[in-house]
Amino acid sequence: MSHTGALKPSGADWTEIYRELKNAVTLRHYSPKTLKAYAGWTRKFQAYAKSKDPRLVSVDDVKDFLTWLAVEKDISASSRNQAFNALLFLFRNVFGREFGKVDGIVRAKRRPYIPVVLSRAEVDRIIGFMHDPHKLIISLMYGCGLRISECLSLRVHNFNFDMKILTIHDGKGKKDRTVPIPEVLMGELQAQLDRVIAQHDQDCQAGFDGVFLYGQLEKKYKNAARELVWQWFFPAKELTPVPKNKERRRYHVHETSLQKALGKAVKKAKIPKRVTSHTFRHSFASHLLQANYDIRTIQELLGHSDVRTTMIYTHTVKSVTLKEVKSPLDF
């Protein structure tokens, strides 16, 4: 970060800061959501500090900001921790300074969170009130334990129908993993693939510019955007115009439309629980645990880097651990 001129105690231009922040996040291959979150907290911090010249910003400003979030704004512990991480990244990778010894900044302690879990009957009831493609998306999220972003961003090449395996690329933390495709969904998924192929043929004939690709994919594979294997498995109904390049590209089903469809189904099913798309991932893990699957297996299927994250699901089901110790010879 380099600046010239007098240091302004307020009203300084932070445009260059956001450009450098974007570059730093992109360089480390962090997700677009991380960039959005970090930029959001930087904007809030900038407003709190009255756009003070970045060279005048101190750790005391950070302490005051985090205290203000906790006391005045009553922000949750998880949000305060995210703000802390964003500003730590800003200091280290944009300002080029370390926090050093940060007396007085205590990482917010999150309260233990017990996820909302549906019974199998409730899962079936909700899905019964849904229509494709949303019905199939929620079914796959429950059947494979997927996050909403993972499911919506699936492409044709993620599915190996011969091996009955689904590969999730760039999950949370950029980790890849494989999960078995539910047998009961094979027919519906094959039919969805047929629809994607038909839609792709129509798009190519209409001269579309392909699907949206992220990162360096398009530079690396020139024709990838128009190739079948890179098409979204759950494509949006309409093409999205890109005025900057005068292109028409296809995006995947939007998160908002899925959440709206799910909300209507939950209401019709009269489920007395707070249900979101993520509830089906929680239910997937809890039902596997209930069926006495090993916690490490569930950890791998969910893509958790730390088994302690997976252990939260032990609070959502009754214990099925065998209490009486026996010799393996007596099994």
CATH of the domain at 84: 1.10.150.130
**Cα–Cα dist 24/17, whole Å:** 10
Which pLDDT does position 160 carry in this prediction? 95
Q: pLDDT digit string (tens) for 77-130? A: 788 888 988 998 999 889 988 876 655 555 555 566 788 999 999 999 999 999
Residues 140 and 82 occupy one common structural domain? no
Least confident window among 60-64, 132-136, 269-273: 60-64
Range with top average pLDDT, 193-202, 286-295, 315-324 = 193-202
Q: What is the mean pLDDT of residues 224-245?
A: 90
- Per the CB < 8 A criterion, the answer to whether 307 and 295 are in contact is yes
Decide which of 61, 79, 95 is a domain's last residue.
95
Residues 173 and 310 occupy one common structural domain? yes
Residues 164 and 210 occupy one common structural domain? yes
- pLDDT band for 136, please (50, 70, 90 cuts): very high
Residue 9 domain-assigned? no
The residue to which tokens 């005045």 are assigned: 72
Residue 320 domain-assigned? no
- pLDDT band for 216, please (50, 70, 90 cuts): low
Using a pLDDT cut of 70, give the percent of the chain over it. 87
Q: pLDDT digit string (tens) for 17-29? A: 999 999 888 877 7
Residue 6 domain-assigned? no
- Per the CB < 8 A criterion, the answer to whether 259 and 276 are in contact is yes
Number of domains in the chain: 2
E strands of the chain, at which residues?
159-160, 165-168, 177-180, 235-242, 247-252
Residues 201 and 79 occupy one common structural domain? no
Question: What token pair was written down for 130?
Answer: 């849904």
CATH of the domain at 219: 1.10.443.10
Is the pLDDT at 60 greater than 90? The verdict is no
Residues 157 and 87 occupy one common structural domain? no
Residue 139 domain-assigned? yes
Which pLDDT does position 329 carry in this prediction? 45
Residues 85 and 149 occupy one common structural domain? no
More confident residue, 315 or 206: 206
Q: What is the mean pLDDT of residues 148-158?
A: 94
**Cα–Cα dist 175/177, whole Å:** 7
More confident residue, 6 or 26: 26
- Gyration radius (Cα) of the chain, Å: 24
Q: Which residues are catalytic?
A: 147, 172, 278, 281, 304, 313
Which pLDDT does position 305 carry in this prediction? 81
Decide which of 78, 95, 112 is a domain's last residue.
95
Which pLDDT does position 314 carry in this prediction? 78
- pLDDT band for 173, please (50, 70, 90 cuts): low
Which pLDDT does position 323 carry in this prediction? 47
Which pLDDT does position 17 carry in this prediction? 93
The whole domain housing 232 covers: 120-315
Residues 220 and 294 occupy one common structural domain? yes
Residues 167 and 307 occupy one common structural domain? yes
Q: What is the mean pLDDT of residues 141-168?
A: 94
Residues 179 and 39 occupy one common structural domain? no
Least confident window among 74-83, 203-212, 318-327: 318-327
Residues 216 and 70 occupy one common structural domain? no
Is the pLDDT at 150 greater than 80? The verdict is yes
Using a pLDDT cut of 90, give the percent of the chain over it. 51
More confident residue, 305 or 257: 257
More confident residue, 131 or 7: 131
Residues 26 and 146 occupy one common structural domain? no
32: preceding bond cis by omega (within 30 degrees): no
Is the pLDDT at 268 greater than 60? The verdict is yes
CA distances from 210 to 32, 231, 242, 248, 299 (A): 20, 8, 11, 8, 36
